[in-house]
A and B are shown apart, each in its own frame.
Chain A
Amino acid sequence: MRLIIVEDDPMIARSLYNALSPLGNSVDIFAHVRDARAALRNDHFDLMLLDLGLPDGNGLELLSELRERGDRTPVLILTARDGIEDRVRGLDLGADDYLAKPFSLVELEARVRALLRRSQQRSDNRLTLGPLCLDPTAGAATLDGVALGLPRRELRLLEGLLLHAGNIAPREMLEGRVFSFGEVGSNALEVYVSRLRKRLQGSGLCIRTFRGLGYRLEEAPT
């Protein structure tokens, strides 16, 4: 994976480099909008980490230029401004995610992984997380290469969870996927989730419940 980091603070840039390159990425760092613009025109990157307050301009300009060109490179915005207006503006301009400084590197890595996974899936329709793989077109899921043979509703639930892998899949969204129409019992979804949980036992994956919010498919803590 090829990553571009646009960040002018050398300490933050170095720690980003140190955190992301061991994950098997090649990382280019630029401190100026000018240099980053040139690099983005010449090369293809899989992910951009973008600071907003840069010495020769605003990172949002770079982002809007990129999107106007039709470049869909995923962008993760990093900024000390955590004002909601900036955040909304960044997302409106086509940023994929947003992380306010100061952030923990663990959280950053998780977000980067999720974004990279999503950008990969754009080219390859299959949804994967660890040993789990789901091919929505074929309607089949495999665990460690072994077919799971899931019934339709569980498959749709798993697809919903995988689409949000690493993030919370909102309950309303999952309910909409699993139950096509009509009234849904308050614990109907929970029934399917627990069935899926049983199937995933021992796979290194688990489904965590967030009360009132939704579910998250994640790698089980070891």
Chain B
Amino acid sequence: MTQVIGTLKARLAVWLLVMVSGLGTLLLMEAYYSTQRAAERAFDSQLEAAALTTADSVQWEGSTPVVRIPPAALQILATAHQERVFYAVLDHDGRRISANLAISIPSAGQAAAAIEPTWLDLTQAGTRWRLHGREYDSAGWDIQDPVQIWVGHTMSGRQVLASELFERAIIRFVAMVLLAGILMLLAMRVALKPMRQLRHRLRRRQADDMRPLNARVPEELREMVEALDTLFTRQRESRDNLLRFTADASHQLKTPLAGLQSTSELALQSRDPDEWYRALSDVHDGAKRTSRLAGQLLSLARLRHVEEADECLPLDLRKTLHDSVLEWAQREVAMEHDLGLAELPVEPMIIQGQAWALRELLGNLIDNALRYTPPGSEITLGLNTIGNHIMLYIEDNGPGVDPEIRPRLFQPFERGGRQDTQGSGLGLAIVDTIAQRHAAKLQVKERRPRGLRIEVHFPAAGEES
């Protein structure tokens, strides 16, 4: 079952959101400080202008400076924000010559202003002030002493300007984010288009269409498409195999069924009980052969198409062999043969295997031996250890098999050169398939003085994973 773990779009969106908000915070902080600075600069230059205008208005009456603050200077300072305005003119000793408010100017500020024009932020009576002080040189007058001129105002004008500027910056930023979001959605649609196309392609596909996809995809999707193509190829092969197998199987089944049909048809036309008896025994043989064939086809199909349905487990081959031979020895088909088991090794013979498949393997080997040896033949099964292999064998003292035909024995529908109707030629193909699945090797040997010996060499458990 497919488990949905969010959408790619959501993932992209979340990451972009994280990035945009991180960057946005930095940008906004920068905007805040720069608007503060801009407001400061604008108002500071006003203070400067007011100070200069005030300086122009200092006149001397004898050795006493007289200050008449021109209205222009105060106008400069009085912004639209109901600001309170402060001015003060101090003489050389720091005494107030003229002032409108009782704001005391720190001596450190006075000392700084004596050297160069200076700026001062201070809080008095709960109000924040921005002050500008500069010294006005009184050279050319009677007294050489300079006077200090201080002007200042409260901060609200600056704050209003700064927040106006900052608001604008925020609006610009939000608009940019919205625009980027829309563009991102569009970009995602465009970027994910190949995926959408692939999906449509897969949906439109016919159930039995196993051709490669032949899609135009970006590099990121290439691997997925290649994996899909491989899957399609495997499915196609598996289906072709299945079709071929079904065709073979139905052909194989048709032959004995046709025999049954014609035999019974002929018998029905006859009135002779002897004829009926002969036909019936033919029909009986045919039915037995057909049902055996059906069983073998089923197990071959099961082996080939239900692969790896269950795992291989460690099992003792001695027990599997003993049980299978015991079961077959009691069957009616074994009545006329001497089917037996050689003395089994004392120690366990452990291999990795599927018990049902091994039983099938043994059953087919025994069945074949019973079928292709004359009554009274001796058939013996046994187990041995050879190096790190476990060797299972079955041998008989029947007629044996021509050496030329031996290599072909394990191909389906091969009957060891016999053209009689006894077998289907599937038994050893099943054995071969099961042996391959257990990484076992098959060997067909001649038995002296006569007969056939088939060996199955299994890797012992632990040798191979």
Q: Does chain A have a CB within 8 A of B317?
A: no
- A210 lies within 8 A of B339 (CB): yes
Q: Of A101, A104, A168, A186, which is within 8 A of B326 by CB?
A: A168
Contact A213 B332 (CB under 8 A): no
Interface contact A82-B341, CB-CB below 8 Å: no
Q: Are B325 and A212 in contact (CB under 8 A)?
A: yes
Distance of A76 from chain B, by nearest CB (Å): 15
Known: A104-B332, A106-B332, A170-B326. A210 touches B288 (CB 8 A): no
Chain B residue at minimum C-beta to C-beta distance from A167: B330
- Cβ contact of A168, chosen from B287, B330, B380, cutoff 8 A: B330
Indicate whether A23 reaches chain B with its CB closer than 8 angstroms: no
User: Is B31 part of the binding interface, using a Cβ–Cβ cutoff of 8 Å?
Assistant: no
Interface size on A, residues (CB 8 A): 19
27 contacts between A and B (CB under 8 A): A82-B295, A84-B355, A84-B356, A85-B356, A101-B291, A102-B288, A102-B291, A104-B288, A106-B332, A107-B331, A167-B330, A168-B326, A168-B330, A210-B329, A210-B339, A210-B341, A211-B339, A211-B341, A211-B380, A212-B340, A212-B341, A212-B342, A212-B344, A213-B322, A213-B325, A213-B329, A213-B341
Q: Which of B287, B295, B329, B343 has the most CB of A within 10 A?
A: B329
Q: How far is the CB of B20 from chain A (nearest CB, A)?
A: 60
A-B pairs with beta carbons under 8 A, tally: 47
Cross-chain contact of B338 among A101, A106, A211 (Cβ < 8 A): A211
Distance in angstroms from A106 CB to nearest chain B CB is 6
Given A168-B330, A210-B341, A212-B342, 13 extra CB contacts under 8 A: A85-B356, A104-B288, A107-B331, A167-B330, A210-B329, A211-B340, A211-B342, A212-B341, A213-B322, A213-B325, A213-B326, A213-B340, A214-B326
With a CB–CB cut-off of 8 A, which chain B residues contact A211? 338-342, 380
Interface centre among A101, A102, A212 (most CB of B within 10 A): A212
Q: How large is the interface on B (under 10, 10 to 19, 20 to 34, 35 or more residues)?
A: 20 to 34
Partner of A212, one of B287, B343, B359: B343
Is there a chain B Cβ closer than 8 Å to A145's Cβ? no
User: Which residues of B lie under 8 Å from residue A213 when comparing CB positions?
Assistant: 322, 325-326, 329, 340-341
B290 nearest CB neighbor, chain A only: A102
Tell me if A83 counts as interface (CB < 8 A to partner B). Answer: yes
Q: Which residues of A contact B343 (CB under 8 A)?
A: 186, 212
Chain B residues closer than 8 Å to A214, beta-carbon distance: 326
A186 to B343, CA, bound (A): 10
CA distance A75 to B394 in the complex (A): 34
Chain A 200-222, CB-CB to B under 8 Å as 1, else 0, gives 00000000001111101000000
Contacting residues, chain A, for B329 (C-beta < 8 A): 168, 210, 213
Contact with B along A112-135 (1 / 0, CB 8 A): 000000000000000000000000
Min C-beta distance of A125 to chain B, whole Å: 26
Whole-angstrom distance between the alpha carbons of A214 and B341 in the complex? 10
Q: Which residues on B sit within 8 Å (CB–CB) of A104?
A: 288, 332
Complex CA distance for A167 and B327, rounded to whole angstroms: 10
Docked pose: A14 CA to B332 CA in angstroms: 22
Complex Cα–Cα for A102 and B344 (A): 32
Q: Which residues of B contact A216 (CB under 8 A)?
A: 330
Most buried by B among A83, A167, A213: A213
Residues of A within 8 A of B322 (CB): 213
Q: Which residue of B lies closest to A106 (CB)?
A: B332
Contacts known (A82-B295, A107-B331, A167-B330); A210 close to B340, Cβ less than 8 A: yes
Q: Which of B285-326 contact A (CB under 8 A)?
A: 287-288, 291, 295, 322, 325-326
Query: Chain A's nearest CB lies how many Å from the CB of B375?
Result: 12
